[in-house]
Amino acid sequence: ADADHDADVIAIAAANGEYCIALMFIRAGRSLGSTTFFPKAPYAELPEVLAAFVSQYYLEKDSPPEILVEREFDDMAVLESTLGARSGHKVRITASVRGIRARWLEMMRNNAEQALAMRALARAGIESSLEDLRDAFDLDETPNRIECFDISHTVGTDTVASCVVFGEEGPLKSEYRRFNIGGIQPGDDYAAMYQALTRRYKRVRDGEIPKPDVLLIDGGKGQLAEAGRVLAELGVAGITLLGVAKGADRRVGQEQLFLLGRDTPTILAPDSRALHLIQARKSGV
């Protein structure tokens, strides 16, 4: 009976060399929700990607008695017995299903296709923003990694520097960092910036973390010069330095952008995608 049915439902979609796998958990005949994965696989066939995913995913986890997959793949029977032995009960991997099971698979295929489309849409927005940034500042190449530094003061005198990182996919949240700043005069933002950037860019110099194409500093010419001094002292070259100063009335959209070595600020049009990217830097959205 379907009322006590336990199954995982797995479908796959591909577009532009990217893959998405959607997985739904059915327990006691009801869906407990679904999740998506984007496995990296350079131009492999769909059954191969699916097979690799299923065998890796259940390495760590108990398999339910039934795993529904959207298409057949090689060695399904071998995988069935491996997963069965590992979880201590019979496991059936099956692709040809009808009725409610077929509908579950169709739902997951739709989920996978939608997730890929959303990802492409978000990337197109980020990519065109990065191209706009290149054009606005006559950069040689379109930047594909941006780091943004911001100094903030918490209650009392604690000073914190935060580093937000953007890539072509959008915000790289796992790479965000916070630096607690110590041993400076309270309110000395120059010293705070100097300390945070020195700590971060020592690691870039030593090859521990990738070098960004653009470093965005919250502040005008003074802060920008301080950032330039850190990079020069560390001997880190090839990074475009941009300072983002608040406009006269500190309103969003009035930002003045200073490029290190250029005296006059650049003011981007309110509908500029490069400006939207810069405005999003704080929230990392």
The dihedrals phi and psi of 43, each to the nearest 5 degrees, come to 45, 50
| Terminal Cα distance for the chain, rounded | 46
**Its pTM surpasses 0.85:** no
Q: Using an 8 Å Cβ cutoff, are 237 and 229 in contact?
A: no
Helix or strand holding residue 12 (H, E): strand 7-15
81 burial level (CB within 10 Å; 0-12, 13-18, 19+): exposed
pLDDT by 10s per residue, the chain, length 285: 455 689 999 999 998 788 999 999 999 988 899 999 999 877 789 999 999 999 999 988 889 999 999 999 988 999 999 999 998 999 999 998 999 899 999 999 989 988 888 887 777 788 888 999 999 999 999 999 999 998 887 655 688 899 999 888 788 888 999 999 988 887 888 999 999 999 999 999 999 999 999 999 988 888 999 999 999 999 999 999 999 987 665 555 567 899 988 888 888 887 788 887 887 765 544
Cross-strand partners of 12:
21
Q: Using an 8 Å Cβ cutoff, are 51 and 74 in contact?
A: yes
Neighbours of 44 (CB within 10 A): 16
- Length, in residues, of the chain: 285
